[in-house]
Amino acid sequence: MAHSVAIRGSFFHLVDNPWTLGSEEAAAARLISDGLMLIDNGIITALAPYDTLCDKLSDYRLEHIKDKLIVPGFIDGHIHFPQVRVMGAYGSQLLDWLQNSIFPEELKYRDRNYAQTAATHFFEALLGAGTTTCQAFTTSSPVSTEVFFEEARSRGMRVIAGLTGIDKFAPEEYCISPEDFYIQSKQLIEQYHQRDRCLYAITPRFAVGCSEAMMEACRRLKEEFPDCWINTHISENPSEIRQAKQEFPDCSDYTAVHEKHGLLGPKFTAGHGVWLSNDEFGRFSKAGAAVCFCPLSNLFLGSGLFRLGKAMDPDQPVRVCLGTDVGAGNAFSMIRVMEEAYKVGLCNNTTLDGSINPREQDLEESNRNKLSAYRAFYLATLGGAKALYLDDTIGNFEVGKEADFVALDLKAGQHALAWHQELTCDQGMPTTVQQAAELLFGLLACGDDRNVAETWVFGKRVYQCEARA
């Protein structure tokens, strides 16, 4: 039987890239302040002002979401499912942190029960934060990958994930041989890729943990399954980069490791990219590959400040998504990620006073580092979808896309936001795109998952904040 639902409410979404519009960036967004969205079997079939569509209502179950701003579901481009229990581990940078806190925990995910308990918590945390799609790492055990996909399927979510390839640098019992990785990945691709809303990413963890043979296994998989995604880490931390250079002495830089093995291209995403050179940014751009900016993690592990302004160079634009990178990221909330991305942008804005410019960025690059509400919400929704080559199905409210969205409470009991809203709008809710952007900036600066009132996946409500349920 057809499942038809109509949502009445206030809708805000991005339809264009704000970086390309200069001072006209508001033109990248749309606000339909009293709108009606028609959803049939999970797909958006119409969105327009309520008055112009309400004659269709007899065929739909109506849900009126009052006093909330409805935005597309957030897209987390880089997250680790098996790190949910070890978020906030004290005291070290990447390589020590992996050895001391991460590999021992991820090893436990060979146990299906252990993995299942974590999966329930992981997906509840995602949906409670308003994240409806993620690209996730699992572990080197197929058990964890199966549990991840089954849990996502049971919730109807669009996800990308894959078995982690790692055959060195980690404890022996955590490593997987290239041959086993190839066989298990192939089985998992056949079982889950394009099943319901699941998509498969071939996942070489990072160059330090992958031998030449492991990278060759990834190449073989990509050649046999060209439709699959590739997910990895790149140039996150100076010690890691030094070690990667030693492991792949014939590669001129980190990006060359992926070029050499035929992986850099469309549907390739690398987390971090904090220390990518100008030349590497140029090669990412040409290849259509994406970088995932993970500010919570980059700050938590002291990895550095990502050059968003360089990635957004109009002469060689790189696809960029945002990610929490839980558990190096210390929150599930993409609102918090936007907040930290804004702060990193300002710290990176070294030419603001015209004097210090350690990274030799020009003034335009420097200005492109700075997030506005339009830019931030673009990256967390449509921009993230484009980076992941998913913008044909998610990222905004265009007709034909999948109905994943979040109802944001613009104040949620937080005084700073309530005052902000009062000062910005007489009516309480925004009536112009500019007002909505002003409120959304306040929300990203002062808000978090408390502001997520409801989360909907494929036309179904899957989370409602307890205070409002």
Residues ≥6 apart with Cβ < 8 Å to 264: 255, 258, 283, 284, 287, 289
Q: Which is nearer to Zn ion, 156 or 238 (CB)?
A: 238
- Judge whether 189 and 217 are in contact, CB under 8 Å: no
Site for ligand GUN in 79-118 (CB under 6 A): 80, 94, 98, 102
In angstroms, give the least distance from the CB of 334 to ligand GUN: 17
Site for ligand GUN in 233-272 (CB under 6 A): 233, 236
In angstroms, give the least distance from the CB of 98 to ligand GUN: 6
CB-count burial class (<10 Å; 0-12, 13-18, 19+) for 135: buried
CA dihedral 216, 222, 223, 228 (to 10 degrees): 170
In angstroms, give the least distance from the CB of 80 to Zn ion: 6
CB-count burial class (<10 Å; 0-12, 13-18, 19+) for 383: buried
Choices 270-278, 299-307, 425-433, 452-460; region in contact with Zn ion by CB under 5 A: 270-278
CA separation for the pair 307, 282 (Å, rounded): 13
Contacts of 430-435 with C-beta under 8 Å, sequence gap 24+, read: 430/10, 430/12, 430/31, 430/33, 430/69, 431/31, 431/33, 432/31, 433/12, 433/26, 433/29, 433/30, 433/31, 434/26
- Judge whether 28 and 89 are in contact, CB under 8 Å: no
Q: Which is nearer to ligand GUN, 164 or 333 (CB)?
A: 164
Task: At 193, list the tokens.
Answer: 């890729």
Q: Which is nearer to ligand GUN, 174 or 206 (CB)?
A: 206
Q: Which is nearer to Zn ion, 298 or 372 (CB)?
A: 298
Q: Which of 174, 206, 248, 374 binds ligand GUN (CB under 6 A)?
A: 206
Site for Zn ion in 171-230 (CB under 5 A): none
Number of residues that bind Zn ion (CB under 5 A): 2
Q: Which residues lie across from 408 on neighbouring strands?
A: 69, 452
The one of ligand GUN, Zn ion, none whose footprint includes residue 205, by CB under 5 to 8 A per kind, is ligand GUN
Q: Which is nearer to ligand GUN, 40 or 212 (CB)?
A: 212
Q: What is the DSSP annotation of 404-427?
A: -EEEE-S-TT-HHHHHHHHHH-SS
Task: At 64, list the tokens.
Answer: 């009126």
Angle, CA of 285, 390 and 94, to the nearest 5°: 60
Residues ≥6 apart with Cβ < 8 Å to 33: 10, 429, 430, 431
In angstroms, give the least distance from the CB of 232 to ligand GUN: 8
In angstroms, give the least distance from the CB of 462 to ligand GUN: 27
Q: Confirm or reject binding of residue 271 to Zn ion (CB under 5 A).
A: yes
Q: Confirm or reject binding of residue 300 to ligand GUN (CB under 6 A).
A: no
Q: Which of 106, 146, 325, 438 binds Zn ion (CB under 5 A)?
A: 325
- Judge whether 66 and 469 are in contact, CB under 8 Å: no
In angstroms, give the least distance from the CB of 155 to Zn ion: 22
Q: Confirm or reject binding of residue 391 to ligand GUN (CB under 6 A).
A: no
Q: Which is nearer to ligand GUN, 208 or 228 (CB)?
A: 208
- DSSP code of 19? G
Q: Confirm or reject binding of residue 328 to ligand GUN (CB under 6 A).
A: yes
Angle, CA of 242, 248 and 251, to the nearest 5°: 95
Choices 14-22, 28-36, 268-276, 358-366; region in contact with Zn ion by CB under 5 A: 268-276
The one of ligand GUN, Zn ion, none whose footprint includes residue 371, by CB under 5 to 8 A per kind, is none
Site for ligand GUN in 5-34 (CB under 6 A): none
Q: Rounded to whole angstroms, what are the CA distances from 59 to 3, 43, 54, 397?
A: 10, 15, 10, 20
Q: Confirm or reject binding of residue 365 to Zn ion (CB under 5 A).
A: no
Q: Confirm or reject binding of residue 167 to ligand GUN (CB under 6 A).
A: no
Site for Zn ion in 120-179 (CB under 5 A): none
- 301-310 burial by CB neighbour count: b if 16+ within 10 A, else e? bebbbbbbbb
Task: At 333, list the tokens.
Answer: 């909330």
Q: Which is nearer to ligand GUN, 37 or 328 (CB)?
A: 328
Q: Confirm or reject binding of residue 205 to ligand GUN (CB under 6 A).
A: yes
Q: Confirm or reject binding of residue 325 to ligand GUN (CB under 6 A).
A: yes
Contact footprint for ligand GUN (CB under 6 A): 80, 94, 98, 102, 205-206, 233, 236, 297, 325, 328
Contact footprint for Zn ion (CB under 5 A): 271, 325
